[in-house]
Structure 1
Amino acid sequence: MFEYHGWITVRASATADDEEEEEGGLIEIVDGLRRRIEQAVDPYLLDLRWMNGEPFVHLGGNANHRSGAEDVIELFAHVGAVAPGSYGLLHIRDDEARGHENDIRVLRLVRGVVSEHTEPLLSPCIPTLEDPFMVRCAP
């Protein structure tokens, strides 16, 4: 299982010296991201929209295997590469991740760099989110 939930505030840079130039570049960046999102084959939540003058990406889903959702992680990193002022979080639960089968992991995007962390508020999944599986033998 590969469950994910995330958001990104899309910004061309961490500093805006000239708002008009920044806005023009941001529009081009968002148009490129929109084309990339339209080509995605992901059947889950993948949304890019402007709110209060700023673009945001929202994503979420629950695939049977990580291989079906690799595009999500690639998109998250791609936003950082094309818009290095962007920031956001992507929470992932991947029961196929060696050494992290019982964790919620967080990808953090800040200044174009993606780093991975364990989410302490939701990990370990068992017993934090779910009860342990109990095998009962018949008497």
Structure 2
Amino acid sequence: MFEYHGWVTVRERADAEDDEDFAVEQARLWRLVEGIEERAREFAGHGLVDVRWINGEPFLHLGGFSNHTYPGILAFFREVGVRAPGSYGLLYVHDEEDRVHADGFVVHRMVRGQVSVHEDAHLSPCIPVLEDPWLS
């Protein structure tokens, strides 16, 4: 099984906004988010891939559960960071086909658009934290 849950605050850049150029910056951000939305539509039917504007800020939410590893969602998460290098967020992944982390979650952490991978300490190991072991 392959389970994933995540979110990204989409930001074009990490520096402070310049109020004098706010309209220009917003127009660029709208175009950038439109590109992310277009790519997100390619994942329709594979799980939750939702881009929304909330209080003037764009957010991406991801979630799904499939029978096998789905590397496309990991590539898309990294792509968002490349397209919007000021973005930050987390993607939790439990991949039973991962030989190293089959019994736990891995956290893909995006900071300033760069993604790093970390072992999870909150939901792992899945057995016994989330589920009881099989009784023989």
Scaled by the length of structure 2, the TM-score of the pair is 0.92
Q: How does 1:1-139 map to 2 (within 5 A)?
A: 1-15=1-15, 16-17=17-18, 18-66=21-69, 69-135=70-136
The SS at the match of 1:123 is: coil
Q: Kindly provide the amino acid, as one letter, of the partner of residue 10 in structure 1.
A: V
- State the Cα distance separating 1:19 from its structure 2 match: 2.6
Q: Kindly provide the amino acid, as one letter, of the partner of residue 132 in structure 2.
A: D
Q: Cα RMSD between the aligned structures? A: 1.2
How far apart in 2 are the matches of 1:25 and 1:91?
A: 29
Q: Kindly provide the amino acid, as one letter, of the partner of residue 80 in structure 1.
A: G
- State the Cα distance separating 1:134 from its structure 2 match: 1.9
Q: How many residues align?
A: 133
- State the Cα distance separating 1:72 from its structure 2 match: 0.9
CA-to-aligned-CA distance 1:78-137 (integer Å, 9 cap, x gap) = 0100100000000011111111111111100111110111110111111111111121xx
How far apart in 2 are the matches of 1:34 and 1:6?
A: 16
Where structure 2 has 5 or more consecutive residues not aligned to the other structure, the ranges are none
- Higher gyration radius (CA): 1
Q: Kindly provide the amino acid, as one letter, of the partner of residue 50 in structure 1.
A: W
The SS at the match of 2:123 is: coil
Scaled by the length of structure 1, the TM-score of the pair is 0.90
Q: Kindly provide the amino acid, as one letter, of the partner of residue 24 in structure 1.
A: A
Where structure 1 has 5 or more consecutive residues not aligned to the other structure, the ranges are none
